[in-house]
Amino acid sequence: MNISEFTALMEGIAPPELAEEFDKNRIGLIIEGKSDFENIACALDATEFTIARAAESGCDMLVVHHTPIWNGLTKINGRYAPIIKKALTYGVNVYAMHTNFDHAEGGINDALSDLLGLTNKKRMSLGVTGNCRLDLAGISKKLNGSLRVYGDPGNIKNLAVVGGSGFDISLIHEAYELGADAFLSSELKHNVMLESPLPLIESTHYDLESPGMRALAGKMGWEFIEEKPDLCIY
């Protein structure tokens, strides 16, 4: 497969026009390595570890959710330098699908809702609501025990889920209007907690978004590279 064929395939899965405006020039082929390749790997992030692991597994393409280069570069230093060096040394391509994959059918939010077994799903402007049969303990188990709960969700019949940093007050109100009993996302800010009309369930960015990349890898027959950030509680 060459770069053009692969790009066409990926844009069929997550069309670029679905991306939020802030993702302009931050999705697609971010680092170009070998022009022809056979083996592909997925990860949530392009890091020194995931790039090296992809290369060690014989993969010349790494598909990630988060771009490794967020701002335009005038010099290669800091955290960017070792990542770019590793990719260019091994000849590994890095392709990023961010908010276009959040919105896409079968993308990040659909994979998360499937993991939690949501049914009768409704799409939000960024996220999904659906009937939920799991209690908090069941949700926590599915998400590796990474929950913090604000408010009393009680018996959750309808759950709103947004992968990544989705605690936006307008999204929470949208979920409320759709009949959600609680709202699940990551990286909650204090002012949003105070203003929310719904109980809020906070997990980690990784635990909410990695299922989408894992599901993509499984569907396509690609390798998924796990690199969960270390979390220490004192």
Averaged pLDDT, 150-159: 96
- Same-domain status, 9 and 92: yes
Query: What CATH code is carried by the domain that includes residue 44?
Result: 3.40.1390.30
Q: Read off the pLDDT of residues 64-97 as tens digits, 9 standing for 90 and up.
A: 999 998 887 788 888 889 999 999 999 999 999 9
Q: Does residue 166 carry a pLDDT above 80?
A: yes
SS3 162: coil
| Interatomic CA distance for residues 90 and 31, integer angstroms | 12
- Same-domain status, 135 and 122: yes
- Same-domain status, 202 and 169: yes
Q: What is the pLDDT of residue 46?
A: 96
In percent, how much of the chain has pLDDT > 70? 98
| Interatomic CA distance for residues 147 and 186, integer angstroms | 9
| Interatomic CA distance for residues 213 and 157, integer angstroms | 27
Averaged pLDDT, 116-129: 97
Q: Does residue 217 carry a pLDDT above 90?
A: yes
Q: What value does the mean pLDDT of the chain take?
A: 94
| Listed residues 102, 134, 155: the one ending a domain | 102
Whether 233 maps to a domain, the answer reads no
> 27: phi > 0 → left, psi -120 to 50 → alpha, else beta; which?
beta
Averaged pLDDT, 192-211: 97
Q: How far is CA 214 from CA 25, 63, 98, 108, 227, in A?
A: 24, 11, 15, 10, 12
Measured CA angle at 217 (ends 100, 139), to 5 deg? 80
Which residues does 79 contact at the CB level (< 8 Å), separation at least 6? none
Angle between helices 205-220 and 108-115 (to 10 degrees): 100
* Domain coverage including residue 150: 105-208
Angle between helices 80-90 and 48-56 (to 10 degrees): 10
Q: What is the pTM of this model?
A: 0.94
- Report the number of distinct structural domains present in the chain: 2
Whether 204 maps to a domain, the answer reads yes
- Same-domain status, 112 and 189: yes
Edge-to-edge strand list for the sheet holding 119-124: 119-124, 127-131, 158-161, 182-186, 200-203, 148-150
